Amino acid sequence: MAETQKNNPLHGITLKMMLEELVATYGFEELGNRINIRCFRYDPSIKSSLAFLRRTPWARKEVEDLYLLMIS
């Protein structure tokens, strides 16, 4: 199983870890500007954002892509 994940830069990084690091780097206001997701723009919180991202694959993909851009 380790062989299938060796080239995956997100392996071992949870959605919560990604979101907390993005918020620490950009803040919710800038995240809302970069990714047009309502949970980043109106009354944002880690908890509500995680709930939305966990059930919305396209939004999670956008967050993952921004995270990968940030760490590169």
Task: Quote the CA–CA distance of 36 and 63 in Å, as a whole number.
Answer: 11
Average pLDDT, the chain: 91
User: Is residue 50 one of the residues assigned to a domain?
Assistant: yes
Assigned domain for 64 exists: yes
Residue 21 lies in a domain: no
Element (H, E) at 33: helix 15-34
Does 9 fall in a domain?
no
2 belongs to a structural domain? no
Radius of gyration of the chain (CA): 12
The pLDDT assigned to 7 comes to: 82
Q: Is residue 41 part of a domain?
A: yes
Q: What is the pLDDT of residues 22-57, one digit of tens each?
A: 999 999 999 999 999 999 999 999 999 999 999 999
Domain that holds residue 38: 26-72
pLDDT over 70 at 2, yes or no: no
Q: How many CB atoms lie within 10 A of CB 51?
A: 12
- Quick one: pLDDT at residue 3? 61
The number of domains in the chain is 1
Q: Do the domain assignments include residue 12?
A: no
